[in-house]
Amino acid sequence: MEHTREFYIDGKWVPPTTDATLDVINPTTEEPIATIAMGGAADVDAAVAAAKRAFTTFSRTTREERLDLLQEVMNQYKARMDDLAQILHDEMGCPMPFASKVQIPSGYGHFKAASKVLQNYEFEVDQRTTRLRHEPVGVVGMITPWNWPQNQITCKVAPALATGCTMVLKPSEIAPLDAIVLAEILDAAGVPAGVFNLVNGDGPSVGAAMSAHPDIDMMSFTGSTRAGILVQKSAADTVKRVALELGGKSANIVLDDADFAKVVRRDVKGMMSNSGQSCNAGTRMLVPNDRMDEVAEIAKAAAESVVSAPEGEGMVIGPVVSQAQFDKIQGLIQSGIDEGATLTAGGTGRPDGVDTGWFVKPTVFTNATNDMRIAREEIFGPVMTIIGYDDEAEAIEIANDNPYGLSGYVSSGDIERARAVASQLRTGMVHVNGAPADIFAPFGGYKQSGNGREWGQLGFEEYLETKAVMGWTPRED
């Protein structure tokens, strides 16, 4: 594909200032599929300067102008969806049905959602004699991950465009190719020069330079809690706004009146979609102790119905994204065995018959305790940890006993009971009785899962500053 050794800065594809490159590896074949240029501080400086210049005019565009621009972006995005799905399949091993029906449409959805919020948003509100003006925050630095690349890029880019911000994006160097296509889409849609800029690179070379840059007004980061802390520390000296969407170890409480056959099967398979590489996955399932054997049987059958391989019948998941990720997951599975959890399905090593690619066996542990590594750490693979509880109060206590607080899940035959439990979870999101994600609802977490929100109106408002103009309306004597 084109532009892999270039950056998109000030409306043009330009060569990097360094000679550094990196191979992009297909995790299914373990072979390189492209080589990208890796940037440095000078490339960041050029991109930020372009974004700063563009902000002067783009921040003053009208609602109607930005609505028209977003519509053209959606038109161009729709025309490239097949290309994006194929690239995602190649760079992160995502099965084509999941890439084309879930991953890539999520990006289109964020542009559509931002457009809908923009249509009716009140940028100016009068409060007594003061006018409150909601104005674009400025130049936004964006660092995005590899696990839901288009979802995480577009849920930042779309509201930034809608509010009149300009931006510099550093996508994950592990799966960067879809971001290059998005830059082509934005260029074709007529996004003005300098409004969107793309610099590839790693965290120490590009991410740190962005976070500390005095002309970046806001950093929006999605990734690990460890890296998010580094972004926040680097940003501290310039007192810029920092929005963080970080890791998770979400609890899934199955109450004793739930339909176990339905819920356990649904949720084991659900957390294994995207090969378990979702920060909001319900990876800790909490079930009544006296029904652990029943749950184990259902969970084992569910996990064994998931095919971790390049292809197959039924629910097929791809490899995890890299050898480093594969090795980390193998170590955590072994720790679960060593710490005494019951290995109910899966285990270490590749699935039978798979010799190439970073495929992980769909794995279930039962009879785990909440102090085990498999219950504390974000595994980011198709590994379910099932923990028992004695009563509802203990289930809530276990759910909240974790440094993360991104999402949560509650299932019950009594909706009022499920709502009552949901209200006691210290998480930014809760799914009741299998409810899917809502692209207009805020996405984000408590505690070490980050701060700020993405998606919908609250995600839109992250890109706005509030100015109070006192005396806008003269006071009557």
Active site residues per annotation? 245
Which of left, alpha, beta for 182 (phi over 0: left; psi -120 to 50: alpha)?
alpha
DSSP structure string for 292-353: HHHHHHHHHHHHHTEEESSS-SSEEE---S-HHHHHHHHHHHHHHHHTT-EEEE--SSPPTT
Smallest Cα–Cα separation from 148: which of 98, 219, 185?
A: 98
User: Judging by beta carbons within 10 Å of its beta carbon (0-12, 13-18, 19+), is residue 339 exposed, middle or buried?
Assistant: middle
Which pair of tokens denotes residue 35?
């080589």
What's the chain's Rg over C-alpha atoms? 23
Counting Cβ atoms within 10 Å, is residue 239 exposed (0-12), middle (13-18) or buried (19+)? exposed
Residue with tokens 């609602």: 63
Measured CA to CA, the distance from residue 360 to residue 317 in angstroms comes to 9
DSSP 116: H
Contacts of 276 (CB under 8 A, 6+ apart): 283, 317, 320, 360, 379, 380, 381, 382, 383
| Count of other CB atoms within 10 angstroms of residue 265 | 17
Checking DSSP bridges between strand 383-389 and strand 363-368, what pairing results, if any? parallel
CA quadruple 366, 296, 397, 243: dihedral sign: positive
Q: How many CA atoms lie within 13 A of 99 on its CB side?
A: 19
